Amino acid sequence: MKLCNSELYQFSRLERFPPTSCAALLAKRYGNVFSLYIGGRPAVILNGLESMKEALVTRAADFAGRPQDLMINHVTEGKGVILVDYGSNWKEHRRFALMTLKNFGLGKQSMEERILGEISHLIAPLAKNVGKSMNPQVLFHNAASNIICLVLFGSRYDYNDEFLKTFVRLYTENAKIANGPWAMLYDTLPMLRHLPLPFQKAFQNAICCRQMSLGLVTQHKETRIPGAPRDFIDSYLDELDKRGEDGSSFSEAQLIMYVLDLHFAGTDTTSNTLLTAFLYLMTHPEIQERCQQEIDTVLEGKEHASFEDRHRMPYTQAVTHESQRIANTVPLSVFHSTTRDTEVMGYSIPKGTLIIPNLTSVLSEEGQWKFPHEFNPLNFLNEQGEFEKPEAFMPFSAGPRMCLGEGLARMELFLIMVTLLRRFKFVWPEDAGEPDYTPVFGVTLSPKPYRLGVRLRGN
């Protein structure tokens, strides 16, 4: 395997060189599978659909591990589900989450009703800004947050609620720290970890988040009726009652981090995809208008959209998927590690090697997309104008570590975009200058802040 240690300096300079751009340059020189050292630790970067499929799908169990010695692991205390290493504990918690989400309506009409209910709250501030422009960042974030809050906590929060604002602020701060130079310093120079340096703020924020989560769990313990769960927390507490002291990985401490994991995963990627979608819809009015024509035709006489309507809206469904592809919210996925000695694309890889799947390389791969480097819904339409999802569409990664909330995210994006486009026209403000599509790197990728011009559509 090609070793490109000399390029590490460029790869690590996140403020000047986006890591996905560096990975693309290195892949051109060394091939789609190459290795480098990050702080003295060997890492393998995977690029392109072929290597991604072999590693994450064909050899799924070999590549399903998570590194356990990075700053973010220490911040989460090794609990939750996203960063937990592959094994029996992870498997039983993932199985429990999938089953519980399904029980609370994932993919069913009851989940649609929750989403549509939240959309009614989302419409109100947009309607107040008709004829003006507004910053949609907090609005979309709060809406996505409330939808997952209904599932996890059984309640939604007013958009000005201090609990919600504090939650968002703490997560935003930690996202910046986790992707910044101080986190890299923490990971590469262990002797500095106990010094009072800026990365300690992430640990303080994590303590605050756990305390907030503990408060919610305590409230549930005081008000729940065992065997009649209202939400995810109640269901987990019921599972704890069943298991007792059987030595399983289920515990109250695990629950506290688990709901934080699910809340972040269910909020950040969806809100950033919505921000990306409306940025491009404003600056591509012809695409927005074609969506609206299709929406008007399909929903004529209906009070509101349903998720089933997507099958009669191939163009709009193509736009929602193209928004996910362009948003590319988790460009380097969540880091993996090998669980045993294995190989990929003919290269031998030892157990415990850090694996970085460059999802960007797949979502914009030449030969996999008709228009890999531009926002174009034709990427998801065949010659007959029917919706068709290419194999290279993997914004949620692939294999057993694929995002738990894929189904919820797809339903949210479709219903929110259809409902808002049916009612409003979105325009790029005249005084906003030229649009800047350059994304901002954090734990997830997001567009730069922009103003959303809101107009009311005519009948």
Element (H, E) at 289: helix 285-298
Query: Count of CB atoms within 10 A of residue 126's CB?
Result: 18
The predicted pLDDT at position 176 comes to: 80
Q: Which of 71, 69, 33, 67 is nearest to 53 (CA)?
A: 33
Residue 148 is encoded by which pair of tokens? 């997952």
Tens digits of pLDDT across the chain (459 residues) = 554 443 443 444 444 557 788 888 889 999 999 998 877 788 999 999 999 999 999 999 999 999 998 898 899 988 888 999 999 999 999 999 999 988 887 767 789 999 999 999 999 999 999 999 999 999 999 999 999 999 999 999 998 899 888 988 898 888 888 877 888 888 888 888 999 999 999 999 999 999 999 999 999 999 999 999 999 999 999 999 998 777 678 999 999 999 999 998 889 899 999 999 999 999 999 999 999 999 999 999 999 999 999 999 999 999 999 999 999 999 999 999 999 999 999 999 999 999 999 999 999 999 999 999 999 999 999 999 999 999 999 999 999 999 888 889 999 999 999 999 999 999 999 999 999 999 988 778 899 999 999 999 975
Give the contacts of 292 (CB within 8 A, at least 6 positions apart).
Answer: 421, 422, 425, 457
Q: Where are the alpha helices (DSSP H) in 390-440?
A: 406-423
Contact indicator for 397, 362 with CB cutoff of 8 Å: no
Contact indicator for 72, 83 with CB cutoff of 8 Å: yes
Contact indicator for 419, 120 with CB cutoff of 8 Å: no
Backbone angles phi, psi at 136, to 5 degrees: -85, 0
Q: Which of 353, 339, 399 is nearest to 85 (CA)?
A: 339
3-state secondary structure of 446: strand
Domains of the chain, CATH where assigned: 2-456 (1.10.630.10)
Q: How many CA atoms lie within 13 A of 271 on its CB side?
A: 25
Quick: pLDDT tens for 39-64: 778 899 999 999 999 999 999 999 99
Binding positions are 403
Q: Which of 432, 430, 322 is nearest to 381 (CA)?
A: 322
Binding positions for heme are 403
3-state secondary structure of 228: coil
